[in-house]
Structure 1
Amino acid sequence: MPFVRIDALSADGARLDALGRAVHDALRETIGIPPDDLFQVLVGHDGVGSTLRYGDYLGVHRDDGIVYVAITLRSGRTPDQKRALYRRIAELAHAYAGTEPRNVFVTVTENGPADWSLGHGVAQYLDDGGGSGARPK
């Protein structure tokens, strides 16, 4: 159950939608999330009222095409799965939204079952959390 936040500079609704689809498709392909597991916050920044800052850290030249992707999910993915996820997000962001791969900045934050409530004030991932008893990804 990933929770995704995407922030992009000078992005209209169509570009934000394309970026959201890129990340969702990459998550489905590389770590096997279900198709309906879609929880995203998509934010476009205009550079005036809100903006994004970036540099050329580690020799990667970024520009105003920068896209920040923050993914929170339960722990358990291997480093190879994460590498595949990062690569696929960059590929699909380029294919779907025209974002240059060098401008795709991704972070993954992992947590545990007690750190989620998916509605109704219930901790669905805990054995005693109530709900359907299903343990989604």
Structure 2
Amino acid sequence: MPLVRIDVIKNQRSGQELRLLADTIQQVLQDHFHAPPRDRYQIISQHEPDELICDDTGLGLDYARTDQLVVIQIVQQGRDAATKQKTFAALADALASRCGLKGGDLIISCVGNAREDWSFGYGEAQFVTGRL
């Protein structure tokens, strides 16, 4: 049950385009990241252009980011490096083909956590209490 935060620049995509972006990410996570089909936790945040700053930090990247930038943060547990790398590549491919996103406009980060770090309602840690 990854929690996915999707950050974009405001007023660059219609509601339909944002939904396609989110749907595409969800499908890739199901296909490559072993996300359960009915577990969907996504937060889309839109920022003013000067509130999303993602410059090259000496990595030698040879492209400029555009106003179509998408930053994806996946809060997850238990995925190994190979699974993450395959998912990153699948996200880039799917977002390019379905949403027209250029590879240089995609940043992905995985953040790890543990089962006890989740509550899905009522302030209960369902994984700890055994309800999940």
Query: What's the TM-score once normalised by structure 2's chain length?
Result: 0.87
For the pair 1:6 / 2:6, whether they are aligned, the reply is yes
Measured after TM superposition, the shift of residue 46 of structure 1 is 4.4
For the pair 1:59 / 2:57, whether they are aligned, the reply is no
Change in Cα spacing, 1:2 to 1:109, as seen in structure 2 (3 Å) is same
Q: Distance in 2 between matches of 1:13 and 1:5?
A: 16
Paired residue type of 1:43: S
Q: Which residue of 2 aligns with 1:71?
A: 74
Query: What's the TM-score once normalised by structure 1's chain length?
Result: 0.84
Sequence identity (%): 29
1:102-128 Cα offsets, whole Å, 9 max, x none, are: 2110000011111000112111111xx
Name which of 92, 114, 117 aligns with 1:115. Answer: 117
Change in Cα spacing, 1:73 to 1:63, as seen in structure 2 (3 Å) is same
1:38-94 Cα offsets, whole Å, 9 max, x none, are: 1101123343xx6311213323322222110011012x2111100011111111111
Higher relative contact order (CA 8 A, sep 6+): 2
Q: Which residue of 2 aligns with 1:45?
A: 47
Unaligned stretches of 5+ residues in structure 1: none
Which has the larger displacement, 6-15 or 105-114?
Answer: 6-15
Paired residue type of 1:59: G
